[in-house]
């Protein structure tokens, strides 16, 4: 076992904030090495210490269509030409989804749209969703960029927080400038909205430097949770040629993200839900309904479909106790 890796792991477990160089060292080893195994075990223990009960967050996709922000990894990107006919869930359907997710035990509920979705209409959906929530489950927005006035509107509509990310390849494989993403994050924080974030969407071509840089960004933005998500290859995307990161690699990355983000970030999510990442330190999974940027047709529950009970079963199989009731991460 390499002594440098041991020292870095112990520094993280003792509450020290890792540097970029230390984060890269944790990820530099073959996944079958003693060092990577030590990173995974430490990631699991650290995650469990910070958040003793794992969580399941439910996400509702409101619409499909060709989004002009054109993120190459997304099935709504205009250039990927997947959902050429836009579609939208009715208010009634969204309210039914909210009730279903809460009844099944989702600890937080997200409303997600494409970036150009009408802001007033989203507030109307938010108000209806908030009114349908019975047990205090926090409502989170996963939408495009916005300013401070709109952040305050979100708060007034009943949203507790937003999910926002400086994504892998942001500004290069998306039409969203990094500074605009930061402006949105600052606006959300100024309005009193809490943040969820993640290191995503990750492909095999990404350098360790960028993975760690994006991980440190989630630490810097003081998110309630971070984590790591692999990119789902879309056949029509220019990124398809790179394929997908394997689950074994993702497990080491998810564990390292927990150690790098440190004691201030208790949540560590992964996507797609899988045993390797959950066993090695992911403590937050996603149940999804409606539209989804990783699908190429219809509603996600008819495709890849992770339900709340299925997520719970996976977490419990991997030795996690699962929280019942509103999210502790967004408390
Ligand atoms: S990720 Fe969001 S902003 Fe980018 S293309 Fe998809 S919907 Fe649009």
Distance, CA 70 to ligand 1 centroid (Å)?
Answer: 6
Distance, CA 74 to ligand 1 centroid (Å)?
Answer: 6
113 Cα nearest atom in ligand 1 = 7
- Residue 304, pLDDT score: 77
DSSP bridge partners of 141: 111, 162
Pocket probe mutation, ligand 1, options 72, 86, 114, 200, max atoms within 8 Å of Cβ: 114
Pocket around ligand 1: residues whose beta carbon is below 6 Å from it? 67, 69-71, 74, 76-77, 114-115, 144, 174, 293
77 Cα nearest atom in ligand 1 = 5
67 Cα nearest atom in ligand 1 = 8
Distance, CA 67 to ligand 1 centroid (Å)?
Answer: 6
For the chain, the domains span 3-322
Instruction: Say if residues 137 and 108 touch (Cβ distance below 8 Å).
Output: yes
**CB-based contacts of 113: which residues, under 8 Å, 6+ apart?**
61, 62, 63, 122, 142, 143, 144
Instruction: Say if residues 200 and 166 touch (Cβ distance below 8 Å).
Output: no
Instruction: Say if residues 122 and 141 touch (Cβ distance below 8 Å).
Output: yes
78 Cα nearest atom in ligand 1 = 5
Per-residue pLDDT reduced to its tens digit, 173-232: 999 999 999 999 999 999 999 999 999 999 999 999 999 999 999 999 999 999 999 999
Say whether pLDDT at 277 is over 90. Answer: yes
Between the alpha carbon of residue 310 and those of residues 56, 133, 135, 300, 324, the distances in Å are 10, 22, 21, 14, 15
Per-residue pLDDT reduced to its tens digit, 129-172: 999 999 999 999 999 999 999 999 999 999 999 999 999 999 99
Arithmetic mean of pLDDT, 7-20 = 98
Q: How confident is the model at residue 101 (pLDDT cuts 50, 70, 90)?
A: very high
Say whether pLDDT at 127 is over 90. Answer: yes
- Residue 204, pLDDT score: 98
- Residue 111, pLDDT score: 98
Distance, CA 132 to ligand 1 centroid (Å)?
Answer: 27
* Furthest-apart CA atoms within the chain: distance in Å: 58
Q: How confident is the model at residue 298 (pLDDT cuts 50, 70, 90)?
A: confident
- Residue 272, pLDDT score: 87
75 Cα nearest atom in ligand 1 = 6
Distance, CA 159 to ligand 1 centroid (Å)?
Answer: 21
- Name the CATH superfamily for 3-322: Aldolase class I (3.20.20.70)
Arithmetic mean of pLDDT, 34-63 = 98
Distance, CA 222 to ligand 1 centroid (Å)?
Answer: 23
- Residue 305, pLDDT score: 73
- Residue 303, pLDDT score: 85
- Residue 123, pLDDT score: 98
d(CA 145, CA 116): 9
C-alpha dihedral over 10, 15, 20, 25, to 10 degrees?
10
Distance, CA 66 to ligand 1 centroid (Å)?
Answer: 9
Taking CA atoms only, the protein residue closest to ligand 1 atom 4 is 71
Taking CA atoms only, the protein residue closest to ligand 1 atom 7 is 114
pTM value is 0.97
Average pLDDT over the chain reads: 97
Cis amide prior to 54 (ω within 30 degrees): no
Quote the Cα angle for 82-87-85, to 5°. Answer: 45
How large a percentage of the chain has pLDDT more than 90? Answer: 97
Distance, CA 144 to ligand 1 centroid (Å)?
Answer: 8
């Amino acid at each position: 076992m390499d002594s440098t890796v041991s020292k870095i792991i112990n520094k993280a477990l003792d509450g020290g904030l890792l540097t970029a160089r230390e984060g890269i060292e944790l990820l530099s080893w073959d996944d079958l090495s003693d060092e990577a195994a030590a990173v995974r075990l430490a990631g699991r223990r650290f995650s469990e210490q910070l958040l003793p009960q794992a969580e399941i967050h439910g996400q509702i996709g409101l619409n499909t269509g060709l989004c002009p922000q054109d993120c190459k990894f997304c099935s709504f990107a205009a250039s990927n030409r997947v959902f050429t006919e836009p579609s939208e869930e009715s208010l009634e359907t969204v309210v039914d989804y909210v009730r279903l997710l809460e009844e099944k035990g989702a600890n937080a509920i997200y409303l997600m749209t494409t970036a150009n979705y009408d802001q007033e209409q989203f507030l109307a959906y938010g108000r209806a969703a908030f009114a349908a929530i019975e047990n205090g489950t926090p409502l989170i927005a996963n939408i495009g960029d916005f300013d401070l006035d709109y952040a305050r509107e979100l708060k007034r509509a009943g949203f507790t927080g937003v999910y926002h990310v400086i994504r892998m390849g942001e500004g290069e494989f998306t039409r969203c400038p990094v500074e605009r993403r930061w402006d949105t994050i600052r606006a959300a924080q100024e309005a009193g909205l809490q943040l969820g974030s993640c290191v995503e969407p990750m492909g095999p071509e990404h350098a360790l430097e960028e993975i760690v840089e994006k991980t440190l960004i989630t630490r810097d933005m003081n998110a309630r949770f971070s984590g790591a998500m692999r990119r789902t290859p879309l056949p029509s995307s220019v990124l398809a040629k790179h394929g997908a990161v394997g689950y074994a690699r993702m497990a080491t990355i998810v564990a390292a993200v927990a150690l790098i983000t440190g004691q201030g970030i208790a949540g560590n999510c992964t996507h797609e839900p899988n045993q390797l990442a959950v066993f090695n330190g992911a403590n937050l999974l996603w149940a999804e309904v409606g539209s989804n940027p990783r699908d190429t047709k219809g509603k996600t529950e008819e495709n890849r479909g992770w339900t709340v009970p299925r997520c719970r079963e996976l977490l419990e199989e991997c030795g996690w106790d699962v929280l019942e009731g509103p999210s502790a991460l967004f408390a």
